[in-house]
Amino acid sequence: MFTGLIETTGRIDALDRDGNGGRLRIETSLSPELTPGESVAVNGVCLTVTSCTDTTASFDVAPVTLEVTTLAHAVPGGRVNLERSLRAGDRLGGHFVLGHVDGTAAIRSFEPHGDSFWLELALPGSLAPYLISKGSIAVDGISLTVAELAEEHFGVQIVPFTRSHTALGHAKAGDLVNLEVDVLGKYVARLLAVRLEGHDAGATTLGVPDAFARVLSGDLP
């Protein structure tokens, strides 16, 4: 489990594909402090350290991870956000982030906005039911607050510190990012969907977002 507060960034050294999976090697200042078996969020993706040197850390990447995250597009020299797992007793400055990416989205725009920056991203329809205004979302592992929510996009405010201390400093329109919605919202959606299934036998064919939408629309007595 993570908090979405990025510790540092790393530089991709290599992604060696092996069949459908791969081995990701990252150059990072954290490597002397890492041990094999430890969990690290890499751009919001929970990965396990398989080996490390004084300058690099390596991770096995499963085929399904490459299918559903931006790691499939990793190229040498690319910057990634890094966060070690939360320890019991640590301050929780962001929100609960599991490192289980729900989908990817394209950056629509990333522009200065007063003293800060405005980041606007496309909103995948499958994730729309889980976002709320002023709610939390992880973008490439960064804990952010939904400042604007529309039908096909959402916006977040990026303060200068976040831009300069994360991989967002290199982000631009058209880039893909990993999204993880708030886990609390996913559990609420699932519980409401199960409730709806119990009320309407035909609802068992619905996906959780569809069932959630019916509950929100008042389609329950």
| Active-site residue, from 53, 55, 62, 170 | 62
Catalytic annotation present for 52: no
- 106 catalytic per annotation: no
Classify residue 169 by its DSSP letter.
G
Look at residue 183 and give its three-state secondary structure.
helix
Q: Which residues lie closer than 8 Å to 183 by C-beta, 6 or more apart?
A: 96, 98
Per DSSP, the residues of 91-124 read ---S--B-S---EEEEEEEEEEETTEEEEEEE--
Q: Which residue of the set 72, 85, 100, 213 is catalytic?
A: 100
Q: Could you confirm whether 100 is annotated as catalytic? A: yes
Kindly name the residue from 29, 55, 109, 145 that is annotated as catalytic.
145
- Contacts of residue 94, defined as CB under 8 A and 6 or more positions apart, other chains included, come to 3, 4, 5, 136, 143
Q: From the candidates 31, 41, 46, 65, give the one annotated as an active-site residue.
A: 46
**Is 9 one of the annotated active-site residues of the chain?**
no
Of the candidates 87, 66, 69, the residue with the CA atom closest to the CA atom of residue 18 = 66
Based on the residue annotation, tell me whether 203 is a catalytic residue of this protein: no
Would you please indicate which residues are annotated as catalytic (active-site) residues? 2, 39, 46, 48, 62, 100, 145
